[in-house]
Amino acid sequence: MSPRARQHTAGHRRNALWMAAMVHRLSGLALACFLPLHFLALGLAIDGEARLDGFLKWTANPLVKLAETGLVFLLAVHMLGGIRVLLIENMPWRDGQKNIAFAALALACVAAFAFLLRAV
C-alpha cells in the first residue's frame, strides 16, 4: 500500500469524534476488568468482618485513592460517552458534536478531580 493510501485510510483516526468513540470503548474495557475485583472485594464481607476491615484499611493507602480517582474518571467518561452515543443515534446531527465530546471529557475530569479532593 502506498504511503498516500495509508494516510487516507488512517486519516479518520485524527478526528476528535473518533477519539471520543475510542476512549468510550477503552473505558468500557477498563471497567469490565475492574468489575471482578469489585465483586471480590464485596465477597470479603461474606468471609467475615475482620477480612473486610483489613481490606478497608488497605484502601486508605494514597495510591489506592489515586486509583479510585482514575476509576471515577473512567466511569464518568464512559457514562458521558454513552450519552453522547445516544444523542448521536437519536437526535439530528449538529455541527457542535466535537464540542460536546470535549465538554464530556472536561466534565469527566471535573468529576474525578472533585472525587480526589474529597478522598484526600
Q: What is the pLDDT of residues 33-72, one digit of tens each?
A: 888 888 888 888 888 888 888 888 998 899 988 888 888 8
Grid cell of 5 as nine digits: 493510501
Q: Cα separation of 113 and 109, whole Å? A: 6
Q: Are 24 and 76 in contact (CB under 8 A)?
A: no
Half-sphere exposure of 39 (CA within 13 A, CB side): 6
**Length reported for the chain:** 120
CATH of 16-119, one of 3.60.21.10, 1.20.1300.10, 1.10.260.40, 1.10.10.10: 1.20.1300.10
Confidence of residue 14 (pLDDT cuts 50, 70, 90): confident
**Nearest partner of 44 among 36, 53, 35, judged by Cα:** 53
Confidence of residue 118 (pLDDT cuts 50, 70, 90): confident
Q: What angle do CA 63, 24, 10 make, to 5 degrees?
A: 115
Q: In the chain, what are the domain boundaries?
A: 16-119
Q: What is the pTM of this model?
A: 0.66
